[in-house]
A and B are shown apart, each in its own frame.
Chain A
């Protein structure tokens, strides 16, 4: 039981980063970025390239992957979303589905279809307080918690963090307070791309890399973000943890291949009873 909760929390942490990225772009740009899964794949493969082809150690390759993910996200914004500026959220959502297909196929074209893995030494799992904890879980735990803390500090205590929150809260007021929208949007995409890439690497460590790895995570990521309330980035993290534990606990009654059904059910129920999200009520709109 405790093992299941622990595993669930780690799964939740894997979902937390892209869910945070999704909620962040939603809060500032008011559209749901369906390409979040593909961004995760791109980041994972970029890090794979740095790791195996260039021979960088994995931590460094991960940073490289995050930088590449950020660049790709900013580039896609310039090429696609900025040109559709002023269009409805639905139009942008559809555009992001196109972006997802394009990114996934670029990865497939360059890296091929077969699954890959990072060059890391296998380590024996640790035993702690009766828990079986493997190396990937420890890595995930530390990496995600550190990054989340960093993001929290960024939002709370920095100028650019306040600018992002201001644009999310009230874009016109932000403009008349001297905050240029363009710069904020670029930073938001860069951050979103980097977070998705880091999640991609951690997921790739846990399992394998394949061009479709992002699709598998799109549903849980959306569910987590909606569970938390799409408009409040940090709440998406809470949503991810709840979902991770719920999925893991469900394996006691359902066969593991039905895990995704849990995400689907949770999403459906939330959308029906509480569209603002479990934790979204604190976001003030009047």
Chain B
């Protein structure tokens, strides 16, 4: 049974349609990165998956269950953890409160309580340990990204959806973050990611998908996509050069 199964999604904003029949699958314990030019509809696709935008057509299945008719909170309770591209923390709350909020409204998939999950997150992001009392809005971009990811991981989601985790980070911070993402993928959480930095994004996962103008242009194992010179030239830009 796949973690995420998306079929024939059409969606947009008002009368403007952005996605034109998108299909994709993330297997159980699988991982998929969506790449593609700016404005091709990647973030829109992710918002459809997490339930923030209703598609006008198509089906979304989570762990085999049809969740198309459910809103974002209900999908979160069924195991979707989401880190948005922007505004991904509660700025007027402390780091600890952000993590608490990530945990307390969703039934955890692991028996360890709040303290246990908090410990696991500080293990994954040691930098947060002495910032628990800091207002999230006062953190640097890299630290915010860690808080956002930790908050999404607190209830041990079945599927982690990441929208451009490396955006705005220094190369060093992006590298550190992707080391954490690699550990998450390894731990068996299904990961559905969007990433501009194709080398990092495709490097961390099994499968890759190229979205152009709201349509799937290519789908292949991530390594194959990275190695394909045609793909690199057309869609992956200079960043793909190792």
Contacts and interface: CB of A to CB of B under 8 A. Distances in A.
A132 interface: no
B73 A179 contact: yes
A13 B101 CA distance: 32
Q: Interface majority SS on B: helix, strand, loop or mixed?
A: mixed
Given A172-B84, A179-B105, A166 B93 contact: yes
Given A166-B101, A284-B137, A176 B91 contact: no
Given A176-B50, A177-B102, A284-B135, A169 B91 contact: yes
A176 B92 contact: no
Determine chain A's interface SS by DSSP, over half rule. Answer: helix
Given A165-B90, A166-B90, A180-B73, A175 B52 contact: yes
A119 to B, nearest CB: 44
B100 interface: yes
A178 to B, nearest CB: 4
Contact of A165 (B88, B92, B102): B92
B23 interface: no
Contact of B73 (A170, A175, A284): A175
Contact of B84 (A162, A169, A173): A173
A175 B71 contact: yes
A169 to B, nearest CB: 4
Given A162-B101, A163-B105, A284-B135, A175 B92 contact: no
A283 B137 CA distance: 9
B226 interface: no
Interface string B71-98: 1110111001010100111111100010
B88 A173 contact: yes
Contacts of B72: 172, 175-176
A170 B82 CA distance: 14
B155 to A, nearest CB: 8
B52 A172 contact: yes
23 contacts: A159-B104, A162-B93, A162-B100, A162-B101, A165-B90, A165-B93, A170-B87, A170-B91, A172-B87, A173-B89, A175-B51, A175-B52, A175-B76, A176-B51, A176-B76, A176-B84, A177-B76, A177-B151, A178-B76, A179-B101, A180-B73, A284-B91, A284-B138
Contacts of A173: 84, 87-90
Contacts of A177: 76, 101-102, 105-106, 151
B52 A170 contact: no
A181 B101 CA distance: 14
A27 B115 CA distance: 31
Given A162-B101, A177-B106, A284-B135, A170 B80 contact: no
Contacts of B106: 177-178
Interface string A270-286: 00000000000001111
Nearest to A163: B105
Interface in A123-177: 159, 162-163, 165-166, 169-170, 172-177
Interface string A167-206: 0011011111111110000000000000000000000000
A170 B90 contact: yes
Given A169-B92, A170-B87, A173-B87, A178 B71 contact: no
Nearest to A180: B73
Contact of B105 (A169, A172, A178, A285): A178
A154 to B, nearest CB: 14
A164 to B, nearest CB: 11
Contacts of B155: 178
B93 A169 contact: yes
Contacts of A162: 93, 97, 100-101, 104
Contacts of A176: 50-52, 72-73, 75-76, 80, 82, 84
Given A166-B90, A178-B106, A179-B101, 15 more contacts: A162-B93, A169-B93, A170-B87, A173-B87, A173-B90, A174-B90, A176-B50, A176-B51, A176-B75, A177-B76, A177-B151, A178-B77, A179-B105, A283-B92, A284-B135
Nearest to B52: A172
Nearest to B83: A176
A285 B73 contact: no
Contacts of B88: 173
> Which residue, B80, B91, B97, B100, has most C-beta atoms of chain A within 10 A?
B91
Nearest to B161: A176
Contacts of A181: 73
Sorted nearest first, the 5 A-B pairs with minimum C-beta distance are A284-B137, A178-B105, A175-B72, A178-B76, A178-B106
Contacts of A170: 87, 90-91
